[in-house]
Chains A and B, each alone.
Chain A
Amino acid sequence: MNAAIMTTDTMPAKRPWRDNALFQGWLVLLLAVVFGALLAGVQTALGPTIAANKRNETLSQVPALLAPASGAAATAKLEIDTRMLPVSRGGRTAVYRVHRARRDGQLAGWVVQTAGQGYADRIEVLVGLSPEADVITGLFVLDQKETPGLGAKIATAPWRRQFVGKPAAAPLEVVKGGGAGANQIDAITGATISSRAVVAIVNRALADVSSQLAADAGKAAP
């Protein structure tokens, strides 16, 4: 009996380092360091490419969202610069990402990046505006997870084309069955909520930024 007690007491005391959590987990710790270094390497190597992909996805849409250029300006290269535009209105503060497009130093238009709640998830859109920020020149849906076949039609070109040429000053409204009015948008059949969501997102952004952009355009003019 004594011997049994002795062994159970002394056994762990013989090699206490074997029970140490750090020793037991040596492989976990080693792998964590090795894998950590591997991931840091991958991120360093690919990070710039991934960031460029995200930026290009937005910037590649900009030319199509502007009013088509005429004459000599049509061949001029488009210069795009991006800035953050903070807006405070009605006790609410929002920051918009605004892309300014110029041809030969002349203002060609604005593209405002904005987002809001859709039927399923957040909808992120780009709204193209004329240089004076008074007419919508294009709409593009960057990100949406609306119902395929119904709400997802907000991303299709025929529906988006309705926004082109609409005035930016008065809020747009959604109508069912063929919107003919100057500021009417026809709802997608079976997806009224998604249609309304996009129009609400556009209306809010325009109300927030158009006056400021118009003022900026005035300042830039010679």
Chain B
Amino acid sequence: MSTPSAAQRFVRGILPENPVYRQMLGLCATLAVTNNLKSAVTMGAAVLFVLVCANLMVSLIRHWLTPHLRIVIFTLTIATFVTVADRLLAAFLYPMSKALGPYIPLIIVNCIIICRCEVCAAKQGPLTAVADALGQSLGFALALVSLAAVREILGTGMWFGFRVLPAAWPDWVIMVLPPGAFLTFGLLLGLANWISARRGGKEEA
């Protein structure tokens, strides 16, 4: 099996190896922040920043990683960039920082990032690592936005806080509550699997 190139890494992260719909990683954050599009987009951007920085850093120091200390180094790197992202949000997007509450600091334990450090950045060069980070975080953001789009419009009749459905729409409050996250995620995951099965399951491992 040959090592994937930068372009392959980028493309795979978006759909074929989508972190949420295919790898089922980072679900805690996915379910928690997708009750409106603003939170989903902010979360996607924060993960993009952290993942690109962490992958680049790990890739640059990959020759000095030792098997028994690599996880410590990944965690240290990720925690640093998550703290930077958290402070930046608190300084420049204070309302979003408040709305997302603990979920920005919790990116530290988001499996997607440590998984990319381990699978790609620790083995491949900086260019491939950054391409991989971009692909995976776009895939993550796409998953967040798709969930949030369904939940926000059904739960409140709005997108990004602007009314889309007529005011007569009876808000399905359950969609913006935790059960709505599970319902929407289950249905969209089923849809994703159904589409890939109809295409002949080419992406099946």
Contacts and interface: CB of A to CB of B under 8 A. Distances in A.
B53 to A, nearest CB: 11
A50 interface: yes
A121 to B, nearest CB: 10
B90 A50 contact: yes
Interface in A18-46: 24-25, 27-28, 31-32, 35, 38-39, 42-43, 46
Interface string A108-150: 0000000000000000000000000000000000010001111
Interface in A70-104: none
A149 B173 CA distance: 6
B69 interface: yes
Interface stretch (B39-47, B73-81, B181-189): B73-81
Contacts of A150: 173
A148 B76 contact: no
Q: Majority SS of interface residues in chain B?
A: helix
Given A27-B73, A32-B76, A149-B171, A57 B65 contact: no
A53 interface: yes
A49 interface: yes
Contacts of A147: 177
B173 A148 contact: yes
Which of B94, B171, B176 has most A Cβ within 10 Å?
B94
B35 to A, nearest CB: 7
A27 B74 CA distance: 11
A27 B65 contact: yes
B64 A27 contact: yes
A53 B80 CA distance: 23
Interface string B152-178: 000100000000000000010100110
A38 B69 contact: no
Nearest to A39: B83
B88 interface: yes
Contact of A38 (B84, B88, B171): B84
A46 B73 contact: no
Interface string B50-84: 00000000000100111001001100110010011
Interface centre among A24, A32, A42 (most CB of B within 10 A): A42
B173 A28 contact: no
B87 interface: yes
A28 to B, nearest CB: 6
Given A27-B65, A49-B91, A149-B173, A42 B84 contact: yes
B80 A148 contact: no
Interface of B: 35, 61, 64-66, 69, 72-73, 76-77, 80, 83-84, 87-88, 90-92, 94, 98, 155, 171, 173, 176-177
25 contacts: A27-B61, A27-B65, A27-B69, A28-B69, A28-B72, A31-B77, A32-B76, A35-B76, A38-B84, A39-B84, A42-B83, A43-B87, A46-B88, A46-B91, A50-B91, A50-B94, A53-B90, A53-B91, A54-B94, A143-B98, A148-B155, A148-B176, A149-B155, A149-B171, A149-B177
